[in-house]
Amino acid sequence: MRLKKALEEQGREAKGKILPNFYPDSITTAAKRIFRKCGLEDVRFHDARHTYVTHIQILAGASPVEAMARSGHSEIDMLIHYSHPASKVIYEDRLPYMDQSDF
């Protein structure tokens, strides 16, 4: 945003890509590196999807239809696969930062 503003102040048009090209593996690799630095070597990037879908239902009170819209699921079966709101023990509870008393 600062670059865009600076260009506009110079009377120039900001055009072109803001972000560099990336590959999905780049995101996964970056996430693994961050997880390792946080001491979470056994966490997969994909686990975040389970956590997100579960939390928007439990903490935000999203309905299944709202959760599907947010997570990009087109079928209820996949939403059920990724969410665990009815369970007292959530898949991600094995993570040290997930304190069940907060729920």
**Concatenated DSSP letters for 14-82?**
--S-SS----HHHHHHHHHHHHHHTT-TT--TTHHHHHHHHHHHHTS---HHHHHHHHT--SHHHHHHH
Q: Label residue 19 left, alpha or beta by phi (over 0 means left) and psi (-120 to 50 means alpha).
A: beta
Give the CA angle between residues 77, 79, 80 to the nearest 5°.
65
Hey, what amino acid is at 33? Answer: R
Residues of the chain with confidence (pLDDT) below 50: 91
Residue-wise pLDDT tens digits, 86-103: 555 554 555 555 555 555
Q: pTM of the prediction?
A: 0.48
Q: Tokens standing for 76? A: 């209820």
Cα gap 51→93, rounded to integer Å: 9
Per-residue pLDDT at 22: 74
- Cα–chain center distance at 18: 21
